[in-house]
Amino acid sequence: MKNKVFIIAELSANHGGKIETAIETIKAAKRTGADAIKLQTYTPDTITLDCDSDDFIIKGTIWEKRKLYDLYQEAFLPWEWHEKLFEVANEEGLVCFSSPFDKTAVDFLENLGTPIYKIASFEITDIPLIEYAASKGKPMIVSTGIADYEDIKLAVDTCRSVGNDDITLLKCTSSYPAPIEEANLVMMGRLAKDFGVKVGLSDHTLGIVVPLLSVAMGATMIEKHFILDRAIGGPDASFSLNEQEFTEMVNAVRQAESAIGTESYVLTEKQKSGKAFSRSLYVAKDVKEGNVVDAMNVRSVRPGFGLHPKHFGEVLGKKFNRSLNKGSRLDWEHLS
């Protein structure tokens, strides 16, 4: 389908430490109508250091005062699960890909045949990682949640420097959950214009208003955290959609796509049939041969089967060459 938004269900940490939950989440994502399931490929040791110093303590988020290492220890998806999850997604007809967080993850995902690489917002400054992932020749998705212009330009230029120009930049607000008033969706158009790339949304707001609006503003891709049941808990549960909510989002996005349509003046069959209710010129009272056309005996009225109203000035003053009853469609052949 032309202009079909690619909808990604983000598994993230919503597996509760059980592969069975991860598998059921993939199957549920398929039921919602999502196009893809996205994983995250890291271990605590590939993403941070096991360190208790103040720099490694989280501040100002829902994970307040937690140690980075401990958070990622809870959240990470075991690498030994990946092959099975890719297999399940393939059986379900979902695209399965992942966000790598270091070069070993890229190598690992290459062996699994990942079709896409997603660079998370906080990794947009990891230029060696972006260069290595982009060098594999797969489509690159890059979130821009913490990035300024120079960060984004460097990331895009890095992809292109290794011959990869299949780039989608995602407008993202790196806040968990993100305030709706900070969504700033107008930036999608700016990203597309400034960098010559496809654009989309990585959304952490609550609900589906922001994803739905993004469709009308040019999003080609929407990524949203997905969970079987928020009762599972975990680091991302509070800003993840459950199956019912994600299904509602997918359905709303598809309706929005239909509403947007395409740029064309060609009328649909339904619009053409509506022409019957437009205005046209009709005989407004009984006339006889030789009567002069005036504003009393010819009028522009509904329906639209007579002469076009644009001819009204031309027919005034002409004579009828036959008698006509009120309600007759006016035609040039009636006049002399």
| Across 261-287, average pLDDT | 90
Q: Flag whether pLDDT at 2 surpasses 70.
A: no
| Across 24-29, average pLDDT | 98
CATH T-level topology, domain 269-334: Type Iii Antifreeze Protein Isoform Hplc 12 (3.90.1210)
DSSP codes of every residue in 117-155: EEE-GGGTT-HHHHHHHHTTTS-EEEE-TT--HHHHHHH
Q: Flag whether pLDDT at 97 surpasses 80.
A: yes
Architecture of the CATH domain 6-260: Alpha-Beta Barrel (3.20)
Q: Flag whether pLDDT at 1 surpasses 50.
A: no
What percentage of the chain carries pLDDT values higher than 90?
82
| Across 285-313, average pLDDT | 97
Q: Flag whether pLDDT at 26 surpasses 60.
A: yes
Give Cβ neighbours of residue 324 (< 8 Å, ≥ 6 apart): 283, 286, 287, 334
Give me the pLDDT at residue 3, please. Answer: 64
Please determine whether the domains at 6-260 and 269-334 fall in the same fold group of CATH: no
What is the dihedral angle through the alpha carbons of 46, 50, 53, 56, rounded to the nearest 10 degrees? 40
Question: In 10 A of CB 277, how many CB atoms?
Answer: 9
Give me the pLDDT at residue 260, please. Answer: 87
Query: Per residue in 126-167, pLDDT tens?
Result: 999 999 999 999 999 999 988 999 999 999 999 999 999 999
Query: Per residue in 30-74, pLDDT tens?
Result: 999 999 999 999 999 999 999 999 999 988 877 788 999 998 898
Contact present, 249 and 263 (Cβ < 8 Å) = no
Instruction: Report the alpha-carbon distance of residue 171 to residue 214 in Å, rounded.
Output: 10
Query: Per residue in 169-184, pLDDT tens?
Result: 999 987 778 889 889 9
| Across 111-127, average pLDDT | 97
Give Cβ neighbours of residue 14 (< 8 Å, ≥ 6 apart): 21, 25, 225, 226, 227, 228, 232, 234, 236, 237, 240
How do the domains of the chain map onto residue ranges?
6-260, 269-334
| Across 310-318, average pLDDT | 97
Lowest mean pLDDT among 2-16, 25-39, 71-85: 2-16
Q: Which amino acid is at 231?
A: A
